Amino acid sequence: MVGGKEALGRDLVRASYLKGEFVLRSGKKSNRYFDKFLFETEPDLLKRLGSHLAELVPKETQRLAAPELGAVLLGGVVSMETGLPLLLVRKEAKGYGTSKQIEGRVTPGERVTVIEDVVTTGGDSLRSIQVLRDAGLDVIHLVVVLDRGEGGEDNIREERIPYSPLFRIQDLELD
């Protein structure tokens, strides 16, 4: 693997770390932001992230899941790396065609690991996990590229979901 995890962290920061004034999905304001689309749309970086994330997926996982839109590419690359099938979780059921909120083959009882991009409070991840649980799936793990260190890990663990961030904000060298 080119450069290992430390080099990947530096490249992630270089590609996607922004300073300024931002409003996060949680509604909080921040002077720093990781633009996931800047790291997810770079093929080399995406491939390397997929390889590292795949190492965090528990062996007992039968299927992966990725919330739209931000984690879809990550889920795809981890799926290709592991050979595990992938589910896509919509924010809401589509109002046409099959009207599904989960795309892909849903087999109740399967053990699922969710792949996420950036976690702040964990609210969006928990919403996706609930959609999967409501469909009868057993969510066994949440794997994340970056934990911003703003309460997400505590909220996720409170729901008794094993949690593995590839990076925590304090792990990265920010300028």
Q: Which tens digits make up the pLDDT trace of 126-148? A: 999 999 999 999 999 999 999 98
150 or 146: which leads in pLDDT: 146
* DSSP 8-state secondary structure symbol assigned to residue 57: S
Residue 26 has pLDDT above 80, yes or no: no
Q: Looking at the domain assignment, is residue 158 inside a domain? A: yes
How do residues 35-66 score in pLDDT, each as one tens digit?
A: 999 999 999 999 999 999 999 999 999 999 99
Residue 26 lies in a domain: no
Q: In this structure, is residue 19 part of a structural domain?
A: no
The whole domain housing 91 covers: 49-168
Higher pLDDT, 175 or 167: 167
What are the Cα distances from residue 78, in Å, to 14, 22, 111, 142, 171? 22, 29, 16, 13, 22
- Quick check: is 28 in a domain? no
Distance CA 84, CA 86 (A): 7
CATH number at residue 112: 3.40.50.2020
How much is the average pLDDT of 152-162? 94
Q: What's the number of domains the chain is made of? A: 1
Strand partners, 99: none
Q: Does any domain span residue 115?
A: yes
Whether residue 38 is contained in a domain is answered as no
Q: For residue 100, how many other CB atoms are within 10 A of its CB?
A: 14
Strand 86-89 to strand 102-103: parallel, antiparallel, or no bridges (unpaired)? Answer: antiparallel
